C-alpha cells in the first residue's frame, strides 16, 4: 500500500478540509450486496473508521452504516459530530479538535502543553455529546529509547487523566506498526503499551489494539489478546498483508480472533479499518458489509 494512502495522510486531508480465511465458508456467504441487512448476534459492537471511506461524504457513509445495520463510526472530530447525531450514529472513537498527529505525541515533552490543551477542550465536548473514548498517540522515537518514552508519555498523560477520570472518559493510545506503515512510531509493541498503562495507574487509559498493525510487528494475536485484554479498550481490523478486505487473500483468521475477544468479556467497539479495493463504491460498501458479517461471532 503506497504511503499516500495511509491514515496519516487521510488525517491531514480530513482535518484540513472537514490463519487464512476459506473462500467457501467466508467470502461467498457474505458478498451479496443485495442480501438482507446483517442480523447481528449482539456479541460484537461494530464500527467503521471514516477515513477508509473518505471517497464518499460522511453523510453517505452514515446512510450506508444504518442500512447495513450497525450504528457507530470511528475517528470523528467534534466538527462532524452533528452529522452523526442526525443519523443516530455513535462516535465510537473521537479525535480532539486540534491538530492530530501520529508522529508528534506524548513521548515528547515539547508537545505536552498543546496536547493537554487539546484534550482539556475536547473532553467537556465529549461529555456533552455522550461520547466516551478519545484516541491518542505516542509519537515517533526520533532516537528516543523506550524508557524515556514511557516516562514522558506517563508524565503528559497524567496531566489530563484526572479530567478524564472525573468525566468518565477513556483515553486510548493506538498501537501502530513501525515496520510498514508508520516507521519510527514508538508504541509499536503491546508489552510497551501495557507498561505505560501500568505507569499511568488509571483505568481511564487503555490501548487501542489494532489487529492489522500488531500482526505485522509482533504476531501471536490471539494469545496477546487473551493475556493483555484488561489493558485493551478498543480494536481495529484490516487484512494482512495490504490493509485490505477481510477475505481469503489475507492471513488472519478473523472469526477466531473475534471469538477470542468475545471470550475475554470485552464490551467495547471493534472498528473496520481496511482500505476497500472494489472497482466502484457499491463494491466497496459491500466489502464493509462483508467484513462486519465475518466479525460478528
Contact between 78 and 125 under an 8 Å Cβ cutoff? The reply is: yes
Which grid cell sits at 154?
A: 506517563
- b/e for 210-228, b at 16 or more Cβ within 10 A? bbbbbbbbbeebbebbeeb
- Identify which of 242, 251, 236 has the alpha carbon closest to the alpha carbon of residue 276: 242
Maximum Cα–Cα distance for the chain, whole Å?
Answer: 53
Residue 15: its H or E element: helix 7-17
pLDDT, one tens digit per residue, over 188-203 is 999 999 999 999 999 9
More confident residue, 116 or 99: 116
pLDDT, one tens digit per residue, over 278-295 is 999 999 999 999 999 999
CB < 8 Å & 24+ apart, contacts of 77-83: 77/14, 77/15, 78/122, 78/125, 78/129, 79/18, 80/18, 80/50, 81/125, 81/129, 81/131, 83/58, 83/59
- Identify which of 265, 274, 287 has the alpha carbon closest to the alpha carbon of residue 44: 265
Rounded distance, CA 4 to CA 250, Å? 22
Q: Give the pLDDT of residue 153.
A: 98
CA angle 94, 96, 97 (to 5 degrees): 125
Which grid cell sits at 8?
A: 496519516
Rounded distance, CA 256 to CA 271, Å? 16
Query: What DSSP state is assigned to residue 80?
Result: G
pLDDT, one tens digit per residue, over 40-71 is 999 999 999 999 999 999 999 999 999 999 99
pLDDT confidence band for 6 (50 / 70 / 90): low
Rounded distance, CA 66 to CA 294, Å? 18
Record the pTM: 0.89
Q: Give the pLDDT of residue 34.
A: 40
What is the third-level CATH fold of 3-15+41-278? TIM Barrel (3.20.20)
- Whether the per-residue pLDDT at 161 is higher than 50: the answer is yes
Average pLDDT over residues 3-20: 48
Residue 168: its H or E element: none
Q: Within 13 Å, how many C-alpha atoms sit on residue 229's CB side?
A: 17
Rounded distance, CA 274 to CA 295, Å? 13
Contact between 207 and 193 under an 8 Å Cβ cutoff? The reply is: yes
Domain ranges of the chain: 3-15+41-278
Query: What DSSP state is assigned to residue 38?
Result: P
pLDDT confidence band for 99 (50 / 70 / 90): confident
pLDDT, one tens digit per residue, over 216-245 is 999 999 999 999 999 999 999 999 999 999
- Whether the per-residue pLDDT at 25 is higher than 80: the answer is no
CA angle 149, 110, 210 (to 5 degrees): 45
pLDDT, one tens digit per residue, over 100-159 is 889 999 999 999 999 999 999 999 999 999 999 999 999 999 999 999 999 999 999 999
Amino acid at each position: 500500500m503506497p504511503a499516500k494512502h495511509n491514515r496519516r495522510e487521510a488525517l491531514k486531508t480530513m482535518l484540513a478540509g472537514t490463519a487464512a480465511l476459506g473462500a467457501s465458508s467466508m467470502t461467498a456467504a457474505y458478498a451479496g450486496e443485495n442480501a438482507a441487512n446483517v442480523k447481528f448476534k449482539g456479541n460484537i459492537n461494530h464500527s467503521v473508521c471514516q477515513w477508509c471511506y473518505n471517497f464518499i461524504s460522511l453523510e453517505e457513509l452514515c446512510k450506508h452504516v444504518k442500512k447495513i445495520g450497525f450504528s457507530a463510526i470511528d475517528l470523528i472530530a467534534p466538527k462532524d459530530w452533528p452529522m452523526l447525531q442526525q443519523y443516530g450514529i455513535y462516535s465510537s472513537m473521537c479525535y480532539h479538535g486540534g491538530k492530530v498527529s501520529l508522529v508528534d505525541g506524548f513521548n515528547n515533552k515539547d508537545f505536552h502543553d498543546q496536547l493537554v490543551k487539546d484534550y482539556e477542550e475536547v473532553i467537556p465536548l465529549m461529555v456533552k455529546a455522550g461520547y466516551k473514548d478519545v484516541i491518542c498517540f505516542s509519537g515517533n522515537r526520533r532516537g528516543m529509547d523506550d524508557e524515556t518514552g514511557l516516562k514522558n508519555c506517563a508524565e503528559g498523560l497524567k496531566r489530563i487523566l484526572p479530567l478524564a477520570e472525573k468525566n468518565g472518559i477513556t483515553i486510548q493510545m493506538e498501537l501502530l506498526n513501525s515496520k510498514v506503515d508508520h516507521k519510527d512510531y514508538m508504541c509499536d509493541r503491546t508489552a510497551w503499551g501495557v507498561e505505560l498503562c501500568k505507569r499511568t495507574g488509571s483505568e481511564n487509559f487503555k490501548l487501542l489494539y489494532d489487529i492489522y498493525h500488531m500482526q505485522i510487528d509482533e504476531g501471536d494475536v490471539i494469545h496477546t489478546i487473551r493475556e493483555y485484554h484488561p489493558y485493551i479498550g478498543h480494536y481495529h481490523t484490516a487484512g494482512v498483508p495490504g490493509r485490505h478486505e477481510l477475505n481469503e487473500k489475507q492471513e488472519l483468521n478473523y472469526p477466531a480472533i473475534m471469538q477470542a475477544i468475545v471470550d475475554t468479556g470485552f464490551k467495547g467497539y471493534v472498528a473496520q479499518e481496511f482500505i476497500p479495493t472494489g472497482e466502484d463504491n457499491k463494491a466497496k460498501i459491500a466489502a464493509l458489509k462483508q467484513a462486519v458479517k465475518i466479525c460478528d461471532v
